[in-house]
Every structure is written in structure tokens, then in C-alpha cells.
């Protein structure tokens, strides 16, 4: 019968862990990070993503648009968005690591956040 008790304990803990993951997801959805491209002093493009890796904002300096450099603007947008998403992934890893008591996130567990 000890095996049954262990199984029930595991199931109870799984429910608590599921709730903690849900709370972490809600928290991540409220946190934002930014990626930028086009210069350190006055970036031409700033992308904002939340901790769930959703693009929630995009600012483009009007001077970049008026320059007529469409290819450059596309590169800047791509760079800013990629930078913001990388920061969002890092934020996810940090929050999930806290949930796991400071242990590194096991491979594939990050996919559960999506």
C-alpha cells in the first residue's frame, strides 16, 4: 500500500505544481522586456514582448520611415523583435527556475509555458 500512498502524494503535488505554473504564466504575461535596433542613443525600432513571448508593442522612429530605407527598416524590426524574444525566453527560464527552487530548467520544460 505504500506505493499507492506515494502515487497519491505525487498526484497532490502535481496539482500544486500545475497551479504554480499557471500563476507563473500569469505573472510572465504581465512582465515586459524590450529589444532595440538602430543605435544605442536613439534606437530606430523598439520591440516590446511579454514573458510569454508575445509581441506587445513596436515603436518606430518616424525619421527611420522618412528615410525611405525599407530594407534597413525591415532589418531593424527583425533585430529588435528577435532581441526582445530572446530576453522573454530568458525571463521565462528565470521564473521557471525560481519555481523549481533554483534548479536549471530541464530541456523541453520551457515548451510547457506556451
Its domain, for residue 9, covers 2-113
Q: Does the pLDDT value for residue 47 go beyond 90?
A: yes
- The pTM of this model reads 0.74
Q: How many domains does the chain have?
A: 1
Poorest-pLDDT segment among 8-22, 31-45, 47-61, 85-99: 8-22
CA 73/CA 31 separation, integer angstroms: 27
CATH number at residue 77: 3.30.1310.10
By C-alpha distance, which of 100, 51, 57, 98 is closest to 81?
Answer: 57
Q: Does the pLDDT value for residue 86 go beyond 60?
A: yes
**pLDDT more than 70, % of the chain:** 78
In tens, the pLDDT along 17-34 reads 788 888 999 999 999 999
Q: What one-character-per-residue DSSP string does 27-59 give?
A: HHHH-EEEEEES-SSS-SEEEEEETTS-EEEEE
Q: What pLDDT, on a 0 to 100 scale, did the predictor assign at position 4? A: 61
Amino acid at each position: 500500500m505504500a506505493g499507492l500512498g506515494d502515487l497519491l502524494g505525487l498526484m497532490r503535488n502535481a496539482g500544486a505544481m500545475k497551479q504554480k505554473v499557471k500563476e507563473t504564466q500569469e505573472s510572465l504575461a504581465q512582465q515586459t522586456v524590450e529589444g532595440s535596433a538602430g543605435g544605442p542613443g536613439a534606437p530606430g525600432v523598439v520591440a516590446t514582448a511579454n514573458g510569454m513571448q508575445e509581441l506587445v508593442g513596436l515603436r518606430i522612429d518616424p525619421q527611420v520611415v522618412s528615410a525611405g530605407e525599407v530594407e534597413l527598416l525591415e532589418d531593424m524590426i527583425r533585430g529588435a523583435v528577435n532581441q526582445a524574444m530572446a530576453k522573454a525566453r530568458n525571463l521565462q527560464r528565470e521564473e521557471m527556475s525560481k519555481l523549481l527552487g533554483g534548479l536549471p530548467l530541464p530541456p523541453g520544460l520551457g515548451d510547457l509555458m506556451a
